[in-house]
Amino acid sequence: MPPSLELRNIGQIQEANLSFGDLTVLVGPQASGKSIALQWLKLVLDTGLVQAQLSQYGLDWGKSVSKFLDLYFGEGMHTVWQEGLSEVLWDHQPWDANKKISRKAVSKKESVFLVPAQRVLTLRDGWPRPFSDFSAGDPFAVRSFSEKLRLLMEQELGAGDAVFPKSNRLKSEYRKLLEKTIFQQFRLKVDALRSQKRLVLGQTAGTAPLPYMVWSAGQREFVPLLLGLYWLMPPAKVSRRNDVQWVIIEEPEMGMHPRAITAVLLLVLELLDRGYRVCISTHVPQVLDLVWVIQKLGRTQAKPEKLLQVFEAPNTQGLRTVAANALRKECKVYFFDGDSGQVHDITGLDPASLDKTESSWGGMLDFSGRANEAVATAMANTGTLFPL
Amino acid sequence: MSFQNDVEQTAGLEHAYRPGKQALRPADQNKVDAIATRRLAGSADIDAALENLRPNENRWDYVVGWATKEKSEFLYWIEVHSASGAGAVREILDKLTWLKGWLDGEGNRLRNYRRKIVWIASGKSAFQQNSPQLKRLVAAGVYFAGGHYTIAD
């Protein structure tokens, strides 16, 4: 049985029955509950760790669910929980929020790594902010992610000056794709301004480094994600980090050109190859194209080279293995309907489905469809092919 | 112009006119709806009607008449066809070429109506609305409706 999370009457969500695949993608309009669902997944699986980290930084919620949820989801967000109405079930078993939150959990293991949508806020002046640098009203996911990056920089990456490209991090094929699509001629490195360490983009020797604030929007969005991926893909022969089994990436496409998104999605395949279960929320059809191509090529037992061609990735032995494993993965796609509060399984992604949420890929193809109809009608009546 | 009259005056379609969408084969009727069925001006199964006259040709499936709000008649040229493989777009373009040739000849009484040309998938689809292959069809005047189409103004 695949792991499942059921949410009832939580925030905008009236009912969500999420059965997770190896790769699970959530789509839906803004404020439809995708992020709430993903954060709830983290809370259910990492309750002890969340409690321990909050306590470590002097945050106390007593036994109050409401106070805890304000600390976890962010200020004012306790309203997502309606006492007596809200329900959470993990693997079909009730998850009693009052008990789970009021009692300190024994296990402090981290099984879910969450890359939040607000990741650009984790770097200040080019350096990850510590957990305590944020306000108590900021979401735990942002604070925790930022702290993780800070530790990574201080303990693993900050000693040398090169952060990207780095020979023992990521396969060389990925590095080349990221250079081509995101960093171009620049190198991500550590330097110091008046003894304060910071990440900068450097060109050739002798040219002034570019500080964080002058990077492109896509580079600013990508660097925290890159650092998160470094953490998930440790060097040497360890394929996964500690006890982490799940990776959540909110809106991996943020700020990036479709070619750069392609490179990021190839890294998602690497995460799957390493055995992580990956959940993504997105607003771009390109991510659903990834699910679609995995499903279609997988069912036709296509060669992994075909999948690599989609990414314009080199046909190397290492990437063929990653692609071959991806084609065996189970994918799931859910549409969060912000109007009804219902969550629909649209995994089929069939453009001919009679379920409009599935045929429009959760509304992401609606605009294209309307544009097609308008242009086709104009061409059918005034075009050179069919003059009236 | 009267849609019913023009259908009945077209060679090969003399007996093809049906009220509403009744000319559509039963399996295809579920794939087409209208926001107001009383405004459907009738339909004809071109493919079946011309089977003997023009065998072995890429005949188009249906034409459906629609009374617009302005009381003029508008034609929906509907093809229910597989969308499951890469060759489907070529097949639709071939059918479109046939339709154009037929409208320039025997079907010319139906040529001067405003129109939409709609392809409905008969089963699962290999194309999304943002597929480049579909954009090629759009440029030729064909709208891919997925598995269902609702006739509206």
**What is the predicted pLDDT for the residue at A386?**
59
Q: Which residue of B has its CA nearest to A369?
A: B129
* Residues A10, A12, A16, A19, Cα dihedral to 10°: -90
Q: CB–CB of A380 and B117 under 8 A?
A: yes
User: CB distance from A61 to chain B under 8 Å?
Assistant: no
**What is the predicted pLDDT for the residue at A334?**
98
Does residue A235 surpass a pLDDT of 60?
Answer: yes
Encoded amino acid at B96, one letter: L
**Chain B residues close to A380, C-beta within 8 Å:** 115-117, 141-142
**Chain B residues close to A350, C-beta within 8 Å:** 124-125, 147
Q: CB–CB of A352 and B147 under 8 A?
A: yes
**What is the predicted pLDDT for the residue at A168?**
84
Q: CB–CB of B128 and A351 under 8 A?
A: yes
Q: What percent of chain A has pLDDT over 70?
A: 98
- pLDDT tier at B86 (50, 70, 90 boundaries)? confident
Read off the pLDDT of residues A96-134 as tens digits, 9 standing for 90 and up: 999 999 888 888 899 999 999 999 999 998 999 999 999
**Chain A residues close to B33, C-beta within 8 Å:** none
Strand spans (E) along A112-157: 112-115, 123-124, 127-128
Read off the pLDDT of residues A309-348 as tens digits, 9 standing for 90 and up: 999 999 999 999 999 999 999 999 999 999 999 999 999 9
Distance (Å) from the alpha carbon of A379 to chain B's nearest alpha carbon: 5
A163-185 core/surface letters (b: 16 or more CB in 10 A; e: else): bbbbeebbbebbbebbbebbbee
Distance CA B103, CA A385 (A): 12
Distance CA A271, CA A278 (A): 7
Residues 6+ apart with CB under 8 A from A26: A34, A37, A38, A279, A280, A281, A282, A333, A334, A336
Pairing between β-strand A246-250 and β-strand A123-124 as defined by DSSP bridges: unpaired
- pLDDT tier at A384 (50, 70, 90 boundaries)? low
Closest residue to B143, CB basis, from A350, A365, A376 = A376
Arithmetic mean of pLDDT over chain B: 95
- pLDDT tier at B8 (50, 70, 90 boundaries)? very high
Read off the pLDDT of residues B40-54 as tens digits, 9 standing for 90 and up: 999 999 999 999 999
User: CB distance from B53 to chain A under 8 Å?
Assistant: no
**What is the predicted pLDDT for the residue at A105?**
82
Distance CA A268, CA A249 (A): 9
**What is the predicted pLDDT for the residue at A385?**
56
Does residue A205 surpass a pLDDT of 80?
Answer: no
Closest residue to B138, CB basis, from A285, A359, A376 = A376
Arithmetic mean of pLDDT over chain A: 93
Encoded amino acid at B62, one letter: Y
Structure tokens at A386: 């069919």
Going from the C-alpha of A335 to that of each of A182, A352, A358, B60, the distances in angstroms are 30, 17, 8, 36
Residue range A175-188: average pLDDT? 94
Residue range A227-239: average pLDDT? 89
B5-44 core/surface letters (b: 16 or more CB in 10 A; e: else): ebbbebebbeebbbebbebbeeebeebbebeeeebbbbbb
Read off the pLDDT of residues A79-99 as tens digits, 9 standing for 90 and up: 999 999 999 999 999 999 999
**Chain A residues close to B123, C-beta within 8 Å:** 352
| Among A27-31, A156-160, A292-296, the least confident range | A156-160
Distance CA A134, CA A119 (A): 13
**Chain B residues close to A361, C-beta within 8 Å:** 128
- pLDDT tier at A383 (50, 70, 90 boundaries)? low
Q: Note whether A330 and A344 are within 8 A (CB).
A: no
User: CB distance from A305 to chain B under 8 Å?
Assistant: no
**What is the predicted pLDDT for the residue at A148?**
96
- ipTM of the prediction: 0.91
**Chain A residues close to B140, C-beta within 8 Å:** 379, 383, 385
Percent helix, strand, coil in chain A, to 5, is 45, 20, 40
Tokens 């930022």 correspond to A146
**Number of other residues whose CB lies within 10 A of the CB of residue A63:** 11
Distance (Å) from the alpha carbon of B14 to chain A's nearest alpha carbon: 24
Question: What are residue A7's DSSP bridge partners?
Answer: A16, A88
User: CB distance from A62 to chain B under 8 Å?
Assistant: no
If one compares A221 and A204, the residue with the highest pLDDT of the two is A221
Read off the pLDDT of residues A22-63 as tens digits, 9 standing for 90 and up: 999 999 999 999 999 999 999 999 999 999 999 999 999 998
**What is the predicted pLDDT for the residue at A388?**
45
Closest residue to B129, CB basis, from A292, A372, A377 = A372
Read off the pLDDT of residues B91-116 as tens digits, 9 standing for 90 and up: 999 999 999 999 999 999 999 999 99
Read off the pLDDT of residues A262-281 as tens digits, 9 standing for 90 and up: 999 999 999 999 999 999 99
User: CB distance from B117 to chain A under 8 Å?
Assistant: yes
**What is the predicted pLDDT for the residue at A239?**
87
User: CB distance from B93 to chain A under 8 Å?
Assistant: no
Distance CA A286, CA A2 (A): 25
3-class secondary structure for B18-59? ECCCCCCCHHHHCCEEECCHHHEEEEEEHHHHCCCCCCCCCC
**Number of other residues whose CB lies within 10 A of the CB of residue B91:** 16
Does residue B34 surpass a pLDDT of 70?
Answer: yes
Does residue A161 surpass a pLDDT of 80?
Answer: no
Closest residue to A372, CB basis, from B123, B126, B144 = B144
